[in-house]
Structure formats: structure tokens, C-alpha cells
Amino acid sequence: MKTGNETQISEFILLGLSKDPEMQPFFFGLFLSMYMTTVFGNLLIILATITDSHLHTPMYFFLSNLSFIDICFTSTTIPKLLLNIQVQSRVITYAGCLTQVYFFTLFVGLDDCLLTVMAYDRFMAICHPLHYTVTMNPRFCGLLVLGSWIIISLHSLLETIMVLQLSFCTRLEIPHFFCELNQMVQLACTDTFINDIVMYFAAGVLGGGPLAGILFSYSKIISSIRAISSAQGKYKAFSTCASHLSVVSLFYCTSLGVYLSSAASHNTQSSAPASVMYTIVTPMLNPFIYSLRNKDIKEALIKFFGKKK
């Protein structure tokens, strides 16, 4: 049932992280430096995997795709945040808000899928090494990535179209620094029961499903590592998936922490600072985790810059 104060809206107000004008220069410098670090670090990972033939393997193919997605992920929200701080405005257009909803849902879903695919790759490498080369061939790896893009793109399109059908009232303030799907649905005047059902169902299937796949893969990996007799063999097997396990833990702990804490406190404003962890900090730390713990990446970068010099 539609309410009487429903209106044709053209823009939303992003309340951001702080209303204190003295804090805005600090936030601008902080987020600009974090954004540049994220882009530069992930570009280095992509550059290393492309230029070094030794890294033309399934693991690094998936890693380069993850780095590309992390760049796109942060580019969905941070440039608009920096622009609003610079021009001292909190306004985002209706079309811009829907665009953020689509691409944020897309890239966070792709992040989730790529982490699951990478866990499956480590599972095959450690638990079934004799079949690894045959199973994880370039065609199959490409299909895994392509399938992830198709499924998540369709899901993001469905969620965005359903938001497009909603009508909004005069209360157009979003207590966040970007347009998040759940926050937009909560602002609607019309009935959002179907939207809520689709969101929770998608969260269970596209969020819980990959997490279950990752946990299953690592349960099998840990069992296989424990069966290795030598300590050196155990260390070598574990070191091949330590970086990925660190990234998975960081991504899920921060994202689940944000939503569980906001659901427990029922305070949407408090979730905005916490969301910085998985939307900005996690993509920034991923290149450091993979490069610092990975000898092959470091050698590839040293070789590349050595040739340039």
C-alpha cells in the first residue's frame, strides 16, 4: 500500500562517516592513500602474474582475477566518497545510487566466488595432486571464472531491478558512505517483503554456499596435511594455501562482524565505520598478504623491475 508522502526522488543524501567538518581533510587524505595503495598493490600482482611465465598456473590465474575484482570493488565506492568530501557535498543521484548498488553487489559476490574457487584449486593441488594438471586445465579454470561472473551479474541485476520498482518517501538519508542494497530497501515506502526474501535467500545461497565450500575444502586439506609424514612436507603443503586462508579469514571475519554487530545493535549508522574494514582495508591488505608470504610473487616483481632498470 502506497503512502501519501511518496514522491518522485532524484537524489539521496549519504551521511558518511562523520559530520564534523574538521575531520573531512583527514578522511580525504586517509581514504585517498588507502585507495592508491589498493590499486597500486593489486596492479603489481596482476603485472607479476602476466609477465612471469612461471606464474601462468591456475592459482595465479585466480589470484590475478581476484586482484582485478578488488580494484573494481574499491573503485565502486571510494572515488565518490573522495569527490563528496572534496566538493563538500553528501548528494548522490538516484541513478548513481542504483549504479553503486549494482556494482557493489556484483564485486562483493565475485570476491566471495573467487575465494571459493581458489579454495577448490588448493584442495585439488593438495588432496589430488596426480589429477591436478588434468582437472585444473586452462579451459576449466576459465569456465569457473566465467560462470562466477554470469551468476553474480544476474543476481546483481535482479536485486537492482527490484530496487528500481520501489517507491521512496521524503526521508532520503542513507546512514552510510555509499549506497548499500539493504539500506536502500529500508528507505522505501512500499512493501519490501519480496525484496527481503530475495536478499536473505541470495545471502544464504551465494554467501553461505561459498563459505560451506571453503570450509569443506580446508577440512579435506587439513586431513591430507596431517597424513604427511615429514615435517618439511607438511610445511610445504600448508605454505601453498596459507596466504589464501589469511585472505579468506580477513574477508569473512570483517564482513560477518559488520552485519552481525549492526543486527545486534539495530544501529545502521554504527555499521558505516565498521564497513570500512571489508570494503577498503581488506582489498588493500590482500596484495601485501600474497606478496609478503609468496616467494614466487616477490621473485617475479624483482625480475620485472630488474629488467626495467
pLDDT of residue 1: 40
pLDDT of residue 262: 56
State the helix-helix crossing angle for 94-127 and 209-227, rounded to 10 degrees.
20
- Nearest CA-CA partner of 11 in 71, 119, 100: 100
**182: Cβ contacts below 8 Å, ≥ 6 apart:** 199
pLDDT of residue 247: 87
- 12 beta partners: 92
pLDDT of residue 64: 94
pLDDT of residue 74: 95
Identify whether the C-beta of residue 180 lies closer than 8 Å to the C-beta of residue 104: yes
Domain architecture of the chain: domains with CATH: 11-308 (1.20.1070.10)
Report the alpha-carbon distance of residue 95 to residue 213 in Å, rounded: 35
The torsion of the CA quartet 66, 71, 75, 79, rounded to 10 degrees, works out to 150
Q: Which residues of 189-228 are buried (b: 16+ CB within 10 A; e: fewer)?
A: beebeebeebbeebeeebbeebbebbeebbeebeebbeee
Q: What is the pLDDT along the chain (309 residues), one digit of tens a residue?
A: 444 444 467 789 998 887 778 888 999 999 999 999 999 999 999 999 998 888 899 999 999 999 999 999 999 999 999 999 998 888 999 999 999 999 999 999 999 999 999 999 999 999 998 999 999 999 999 999 999 999 999 999 999 999 999 888 776 888 888 998 888 888 888 888 999 999 889 988 988 899 999 999 999 999 988 888 888 877 877 777 888 888 888 888 877 766 665 555 555 555 677 788 888 888 998 888 887 667 788 888 888 777 655
pLDDT of residue 184: 87
